[in-house]
């Protein structure tokens, strides 16, 4: 079936349109409006020659607070569901782009580039696929790729041509395509996509290939053999559906090895899930994890961008698939920015940390304490205090004190026990971190609120 003529490619403009509606305010510690925050993630990423985007789905296009963020914060959008086969070819030979076109139009109206997702996948297929005789499926697959990629010619900058074709052990997933067409189906899909849209970058996309291992090795070998054979492939998408505290240690090395094969790499579906409910400790770990992922991408020139798999915890696939888990994204369910947002913002070069002065209060009592504001936003901040044992023997406990001068508060604190008496703060060690070896350190952190000025207080430290 011939593909329809493509439409004109939209070029990403340097600016993003700020369409801020009324944003509901959630947790007070992380609830600045986007308008307060200076550059957006999309703008910061663009300054680094990259994009920072979000997946989205059709039902949320009617939600004004949601689209206010979607349209202003990101410079890239991925069609989260409605470009999949069950939506685009619900009946054999009958194509329907009604839903996906709405998302592409939204992106174009907001100067956002579009990642197309996805042409060939074992999931979200129409039922009729199973009835196609083995001898006809290759032709059916080529027609589908030609038609969908042809429809969006010039409008989609990356296509996830084939999605999730490998098992964890690196063997081929026994999808209907694998079973009825055989190993060659992946190459055939890429060739059909190149023919339909010669300018789109063609990606292989998968999960659990962020670190080096059997599955990512299989993808690595696929890309290598495609390059050797001249089969068109331009990029690898690392989905990055990650778990709190478990960013693979080989992420950067893995991105680099794909880049060294001569393909681009994109982080395509980033989220970092936790057991719910959130708390300040988990939020801090999640912020660190988002920062690690962002830095890994920035460290490799061919890592072209990062996409979160939707941006708000209220619109994530995680809770329905992993009961008891969630809070995986960079905005909460009320569209308030989380510490993970600010970690990405800062990693991309944002200057949200307005106070980084350190003050050391040394009472001569065997320890020093260093207070550092690690992130600050309208009305809120995050700080870390490092306690160092300067004595001659290990400590059995410690106490850090300071007095706020500008009405700041501490809302939640981890790795220590807080006593607040008006503006006077006393933090004692938690049961597990009172012992510090000679010249060793420990740290506690907290999230707090301020009313506009947030000077670093003078801190004192004493050992028990």
Binding site for ligand G3I (CB under 6 A): 57, 80-81, 123-124, 163, 207, 239, 269, 317
Within 327-458, strands assigned E span 359-361, 367-377, 380-389, 398-403, 409-414, 417-421, 424-428, 441-449
Q: Which whole-number Å values give the CA distances from 344 to 294, 381, 445, in the listed order?
A: 6, 15, 19
Which C-beta is closer to ligand G3I: that of 269 or that of 289?
269
Q: Closest distance between ligand G3I and the C-beta of residue 56, in Å?
A: 10
Which C-beta is closer to ligand G3I: that of 241 or that of 450?
241
Give me the residue label for tokens 């054999």.
Answer: 92
Q: Which of 155, 269, 333, 384 is catalytic?
A: 269
Q: Closest distance between ligand G3I and the C-beta of residue 222, in Å?
A: 18
Q: Closest distance between ligand G3I and the C-beta of residue 80, in Å?
A: 5
Which C-beta is closer to ligand G3I: that of 310 or that of 346?
310
The angle that helices 251-260 and 280-298 make with each other, rounded to 10 degrees, is: 20
Q: Give yes or no: 424 in active site.
A: no
Please work out, in degrees rounded to the nearest 5, the angle formed at the alpha carbon of residue 248 by the alpha carbons of 216 and 187.
20
Q: Closest distance between ligand G3I and the C-beta of residue 270, in Å?
A: 11
Which C-beta is closer to ligand G3I: that of 185 or that of 377?
185
Q: Closest distance between ligand G3I and the C-beta of residue 121, in Å?
A: 7
What the block records as the tokens of 429 is 């060690």
Give me the residue label for tokens 């996805």.
Answer: 118
Look at residue 128 and give its three-state secondary structure. helix
CA distance 93 to 140: 8
CA distance 329 to 393: 43
The angle that helices 185-196 and 214-229 make with each other, rounded to 10 degrees, is: 60
Look at residue 383 and give its three-state secondary structure. strand
Within 227-263, strands assigned E span 235-238, 241-243
CB–CB of 420/403 below 8 Å? no
Query: What does the DSSP assignment read for 53-85?
Result: EEEE-GGGGG-HHHHHHHHHH-SEEEE-STTSH
CA distance 425 to 420: 5
CA distance 65 to 20: 8
Which C-beta is closer to ligand G3I: that of 239 or that of 463?
239
Which C-beta is closer to ligand G3I: that of 26 or that of 237?
237
Q: Which whole-number Å values give the CA distances from 380 to 21, 72, 348, 422, in the listed order?
A: 21, 22, 20, 18
Q: Which whole-number Å values give the CA distances from 365 to 318, 392, 397, 459, 462, in the listed order?
A: 49, 11, 12, 13, 5
Which C-beta is closer to ligand G3I: that of 286 or that of 316?
316
Q: Closest distance between ligand G3I and the C-beta of residue 209, in Å?
A: 12
Q: Closest distance between ligand G3I and the C-beta of residue 155, in Å?
A: 19
Distance of CA 210 to the CA centre of its chain: 13
Which C-beta is closer to ligand G3I: that of 94 or that of 320?
320
Q: Closest distance between ligand G3I and the C-beta of residue 349, in Å?
A: 29
Catalytic residue IDs: 269
């Amino acid at each position: 079936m011939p593909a329809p003529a493509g439409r004109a490619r939209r070029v990403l403009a340097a600016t993003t349109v700020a369409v801020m509606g009324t944003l509901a305010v959630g947790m007070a510690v992380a609830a600045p409006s986007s308008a307060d925050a200076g550059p957006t993630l999309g703008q910061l990423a663009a300054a680094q020659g990259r994009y920072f985007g979000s997946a989205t789905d059709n039902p949320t296009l009617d939600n004004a607070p949601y689209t206010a963020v979607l349209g202003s914060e990101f410079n890239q959008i991925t069609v989260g569901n409605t470009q999949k086969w069950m939506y685009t070819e619900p009946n054999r030979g009958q194509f329907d782009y009604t839903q996906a076109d709405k998302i592409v139009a939204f992106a174009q109206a907001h100067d956002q580039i579009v990642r197309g997702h996805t042409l060939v996948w074992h999931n979200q297929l129409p039922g009729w696929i199973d009835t196609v005789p083995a001898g006809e499926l290759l032709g059916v697959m080529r027609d589908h790729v030609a038609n969908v990629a042809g429809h969006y010619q010039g409008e989609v900058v990356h296509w996830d041509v084939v999605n999730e074709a490998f098992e964890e052990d690196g063997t081929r997933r026994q999808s209907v395509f694998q079973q009825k067409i055989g190993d060659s189906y992946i190459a055939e899909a890429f060739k059909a996509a190149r023919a339909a849209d010669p300018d789109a970058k063609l990606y292989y996309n998968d999960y659990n290939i962020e670190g080096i291992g059997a599955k990512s090795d299989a993808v690595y070998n696929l890309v290598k053999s495609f390059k050797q054979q001249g089969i068109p492939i331009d990029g690898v998408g690392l989905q990055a559906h990650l778990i709190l505290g478990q960013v693979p240690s080989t992420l950067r090395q893995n991105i680099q090895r794909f880049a060294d094969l001569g393909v681009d790499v994109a982080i395509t579906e980033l989220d970092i899930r936790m057991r719910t409910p959130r708390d300040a400790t988990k939020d801090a770990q999640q912020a660190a994890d988002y920062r690690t992922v962002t830095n890994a991408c920035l460290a490799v020139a061919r890592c072209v961008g990062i996409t979160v798999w939707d941006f708000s915890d209220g619109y994530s696939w995680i809770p329905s698939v992993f009961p008891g888990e969630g809070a995986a994204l960079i905005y909460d369910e009320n569209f308030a920015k989380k510490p993970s947002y600010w970690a990405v913002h800062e990693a991309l070069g944002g200057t949200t940390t307005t106070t980084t002065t350190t003050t050391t209060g040394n009472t001569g009592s065997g320890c020093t304490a260093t207070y550092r504001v690690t992130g600050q936003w309208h009305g809120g901040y995050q700080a870390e205090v490092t306690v160092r044992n300067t004595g001659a023997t290990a400590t059995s406990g410690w106490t850090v004190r300071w007095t706020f001068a500008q009405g700041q508060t501490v809302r939640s604190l981890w790795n220590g026990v807080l006593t607040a008496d008006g503006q006077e703060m006393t933090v004692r060690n938690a049961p597990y971190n009172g012992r510090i070896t000679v010249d060793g350190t420990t740290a506690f952190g907290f999230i707090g609120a301020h009313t506009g000025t947030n000077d670093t207080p003078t801190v004192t430290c004493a050992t028990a």
